[in-house]
Amino acid sequence: MNLSGAVGLAVMSAVVVAWGVSLVSGYDVVADVNPEHMNLGPASAHWLGTDHLGRDVAWRLVTASEVFVGPGLFACLLALLLGVPAGAWAGWVGGLGAELVRYVFTVIASLPRFVLVLLVCAIYGSSVWTLAAAAAVAYSPAIAEAVYSRIATFRGREFVLAAEAHGVHWARILGWHLLWVNGKTLIARHALQLFAYFLLVETTLSYIGALEAGAGFGVPEPTPSWGNMIAFEWGVRHGNQWATWAPALAIWVVILGALLLADGLAEGDHA
């Protein structure tokens, strides 16, 4: 794996660590409010300072990982469940069945992803788990199409035909040889890209939801999300700059990290 892939891996590992730490330690959203310590800059007590309610920025930064890591993993799982079997089956059987499956995914893909996510949230409420499901559905066509392409390309290769001729069961060829041995990096890359996309969607909705309190989008205050942390400081004069720039940077770095890791995995993928 090359340098950028290694950087991506480091970033994602840091995210997982933050998530673990946050799960273990917990965070009392109310108790953290501390008007005496408003708008402090970075210091030993508060590594990134405090926001305009006196809450520790660094700790909220870490705790916000709960809001997107768990649901993000759920989104990946769901999208893989929706996209991989369908795409693999379509690639394997070809013909009318494949056309039908691809049609369904083309229809889903014809709605812009964010529009679909917004629609689902408006209908089913805005909990992060709903958001994750919506993002998974919106992203599944990309996964299905990628898996379909890969399987269809391999379908006619000699080693597959030879395995069939030797009586190897088609499920084993498809499941083990094609999907796992030849397909796992492709699948992992798409999962990472979806994770990045979910973070993007969650922070976008939380940001807008925080600007328009009561609209019911994204993660509501006081639960920290990198999105609502940025919006919360809007209009605060002489505030702690880190309170907004730290989450902004965090969003960008984590998305970059996930995509770099995905690219790094691509290096080892020989199609």
Partner 1 sequence: MSAPPPDRRRQLALLSALGRRFGAFVLTLLGAALLAQVLLWSAPGDAADLLAGDPELRAALVVEMGLDRPPHVAWWAFVTHALGGDLGRSLTYRPGMAVLELVQPAALRSLVLVVGALVVSLLVGTALAYVTAGRRSLGRRLLQAVSIAPVFLMAWVLVVGLNEWAFELMLQDRIVRPSWFALPDQESLLKWALAIGVLAVGSSAVTEVHSACEDELKAIRRSGYVDAARARGARLWPHVLWNLVPPLTTIASSRAAFFVGGLVVVEKVLHLNGVGAMLWQACRLRDVPLALGITFVAAAVVCGARLLADVLRVTVDPRLRTQT
Residues found near partner 1 in the complex (CB under 8 A): 103-104, 106-115, 118-125, 196, 200, 203-204, 207-208, 215-217, 227, 230, 244, 248, 251-252, 255-256, 259
The residue among 115 and 161 lying less far from partner 1, judged by its C-beta, is 115
Q: 227 exposed, middle or buried (CB, 10 Å; 0-12, 13-18, 19+)?
A: buried
CB of 25 to partner 1, least distance (A): 27
Q: Say if CB 144 and CB 90 are below 8 A apart.
A: yes
The residue among 217 and 242 lying less far from partner 1, judged by its C-beta, is 217
- Cα(first)–Cα(last) distance of the chain, in Å? 17
The residue among 176 and 252 lying less far from partner 1, judged by its C-beta, is 252
CB of 38 to partner 1, least distance (A): 20
The residue among 43 and 115 lying less far from partner 1, judged by its C-beta, is 115
CB of 43 to partner 1, least distance (A): 23
CB of 93 to partner 1, least distance (A): 20
The residue among 151 and 250 lying less far from partner 1, judged by its C-beta, is 250
The residue among 133 and 151 lying less far from partner 1, judged by its C-beta, is 133
CB of 85 to partner 1, least distance (A): 20
CB of 169 to partner 1, least distance (A): 34
CB of 210 to partner 1, least distance (A): 11
The residue among 106 and 153 lying less far from partner 1, judged by its C-beta, is 106
